[in-house]
């Protein structure tokens, strides 16, 4: 337990705080992580969730006229994740500390009925795409038995009723807010006109802080009906893997689960193509997004090239490409960029 002074000091310093079952833990070691995991594993599904599942208090939404149900099968599962596969930062021309592999948690996409994985496990999880008038139907299964705790999927931006919130709310938890190991739940979210844009989704179970830091996050993109979007689209999460979470020696500053140019996503485009970057804050820090040789109109209409955004905020940087070359993109918080939060953007003539 933490007293008030410790709580405020830790929060102000940006340290990792986890509250599970009434206990707030300042996570600074692997033992702290074990304590938090143990507390989460001891929880059982609240009676309110069982009653909600049986009662059907809230109706399941249907697609609007002309829309359709877009179905996704997602399983939360542990994977061995390597943060720096090349063991080197091509921009900084330096070796990246090894080992850089740890036990992560990811949302893995499957074919219908969880028949087979679709592609390799990735961080972030699969991008869920839909149009106005659609519903997004997420069939979720908790395959992380080795972590032995409830997990969920909580969306931003789309419309949902309390049953499909995907949040653990203690004694007020609904059915989708506590999916125990080995169990399944289906979420249904509505894509209203107000949902157009790019939004995060992530775990919001009893131990959501640790599990999102482990890799349980992804993106939702909703477009106007019939809009295919730009030719080049890139989802980009700026986040970190701290030592208590990974049991490694250093904090890795990451883009999509990787650190250092040559490991992080290399984005490619051609002159004349429309390009859009969907950039998310994926940890407890503030970040900036900068692409060398480019600028774009921000939300207020003015041109910008280094906007600031915070935890679980999203910015969209979009332009028609007109500047060929090899360009660097990165967070312009200097301690983040120099520690590996950077990558290559390659533009062909």
pLDDT at 6: 41
Distance CA 298, CA 273 (A): 19
The answer for residues whose C-beta is within 8 angstroms of residue 244's C-beta and 6 or more apart is 16, 27, 28, 29, 30, 32, 33
Per-residue tokens: 155: 């969306």
Tell me how far apart the alpha carbons of residues 324 and 319 are, in angstroms, rounded to a whole number: 13
What per-residue confidence (pLDDT) applies to 61? 94
Residue 3 binned pLDDT confidence (cut-offs 50, 70, 90): very low
CB 104 within 8 A of CB 81: yes
If residue 245 lies in a helix (H) or strand (E), which one and from where to where?
A: helix 243-246
Within this chain, domains 57-202 and 229-349 share the same CATH topology:
yes
Residue 339 has pLDDT above 60, yes or no: yes
pLDDT tier at 13, thresholds 50, 70, 90: very low
pTM: 0.94
112 pLDDT exceeds 60?
yes
Query: Which contacts qualify for 167-175: CB closer than 8 Å, 24 or more apart?
Result: 167/204, 168/204, 168/205, 168/206, 168/208, 170/46, 171/46, 171/48, 172/46, 172/48, 173/45, 173/46, 173/48, 173/49, 174/48, 174/49, 174/52, 175/49, 175/50, 175/52, 175/53
Provide the CATH topology of domain 57-202: Immunoglobulin-like (2.60.40)
Q: Residue 7 above 50 pLDDT? A: no
The per-residue pLDDT for 68 is 97
Whether 20 and 206 have beta carbons less than 8 Å apart is answered as: yes
CB 76 within 8 A of CB 145: no
Check pLDDT > 90 for residue 16.
no
Total residue length of the chain:
349
Amino acid 121: pLDDT: 95
Q: Is 157 left (phi over 0), alpha (psi -120 to 50) or beta?
A: left
Q: What is the CA radius of gyration of the chain?
A: 20
pLDDT band at 335 (very low <50, low <70, confident <90, very high): very high
Name the average pLDDT for the chain: 93
pLDDT in tens, 125-157: 999 999 999 999 999 999 999 999 999 999 999
List, for residues 34-84, the tens digit of each pLDDT value.
999 999 999 999 988 876 666 667 899 999 999 999 999 999 999 999 999
CATH 1.10.10.60 fits 229-349, yes or no: no
Question: Taking every pair of C-alpha atoms in the chain, what is the biggest distance, in angstroms?
Answer: 61
3-state class (DSSP) for residue 19: strand
Q: Provide the token pair at 169.
A: 């709310």
Q: Quick one: how far is CA 249 from the chain centroid?
A: 23
Confidence band for 21, pLDDT divided at 50, 70 and 90: confident
Cα-based distances in Å from 322 to 80, 274, 292, 294, 304: 40, 10, 13, 9, 17
Tokens 């080995």 correspond to what residue?
Answer: 182
Q: What percent of the chain has pLDDT over 90?
A: 88
Report CA dihedral (219, 62, 132, 237) to the nearest 10 degrees. 0
DSSP assignments along 135-150, one per residue: EEEEEEEE--TTT-S-
Beta strand 154-155 pairing with 184-190 = unpaired
Rounded Cα distance between 145 and 136, Å, is 26
The domain limits of the chain are: 4-41, 57-202, 229-349
| Cα–Cα distance, 295 to 313 (Å, whole number) | 20
């Amino acid at each position: 337990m933490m007293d008030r002074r410790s709580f405020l000091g830790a929060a102000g310093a940006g340290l990792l705080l986890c509250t599970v079952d009434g206990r707030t833990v300042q996570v600074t070691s692997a033992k702290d992580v074990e304590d938090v995991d143990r507390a989460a594993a001891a929880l059982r599904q609240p009676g309110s969730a069982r009653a909600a599942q049986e009662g059907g208090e809230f109706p399941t939404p249907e697609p609007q006229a002309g829309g359709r149900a877009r179905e996704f099968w997602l399983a939360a599962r542990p994977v061995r994740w390597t943060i720096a596969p090349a063991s080197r930062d091509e921009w900084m021309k330096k070796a990246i500390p090894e080992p850089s592999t740890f036990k992560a948690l990811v949302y893995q996409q499957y074919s219908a009925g969880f028949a087979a994985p679709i592609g390799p496990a990735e961080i972030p999880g699969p991008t869920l795409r839909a149009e106005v008038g659609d519903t997004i139907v997420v069939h979720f299964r908790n395959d992380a038995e080795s972590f032995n705790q409830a997990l969920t999927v909580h969306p931003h931006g789309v419309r949902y009723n309390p049953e499909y919130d995907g949040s653990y709310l203690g004694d007020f938890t609904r059915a989708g807010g506590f999916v125990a190991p080995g169990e399944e739940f289906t979420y249904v979210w509505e894509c209203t006109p107000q949902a157009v844009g790019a939004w995060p989704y992530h775990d919001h179970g009893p131990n959501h802080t640790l599990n999102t830091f482990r890799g349980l996050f992804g993106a939702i993109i909703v477009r106007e009906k019939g809009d295919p979007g730009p030719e080049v689209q890139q989802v980009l999460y700026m986040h970190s893997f701290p030592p208590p979470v990974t049991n490694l020696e250093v904090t890795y500053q990451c883009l999509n689960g990787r650190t250092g140019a040559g490991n992080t996503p290399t984005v490619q485009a051609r002159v004349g193509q429309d390009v859009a970057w969907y950039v998310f804050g994926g940890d407890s820090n503030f970040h900036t997004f900068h692409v060398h040789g480019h600028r774009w109109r921000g939300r207020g209409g003015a041109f910008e090239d280094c906007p600031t955004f915070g935890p679980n905020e999203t910015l969209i940087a979009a332009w028609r490409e007109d500047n060929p070359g090899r360009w660097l993109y990165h967070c312009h918080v200097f301690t983040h960029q120099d520690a590996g939060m950077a990558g290559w953007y390659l533009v062909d003539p």
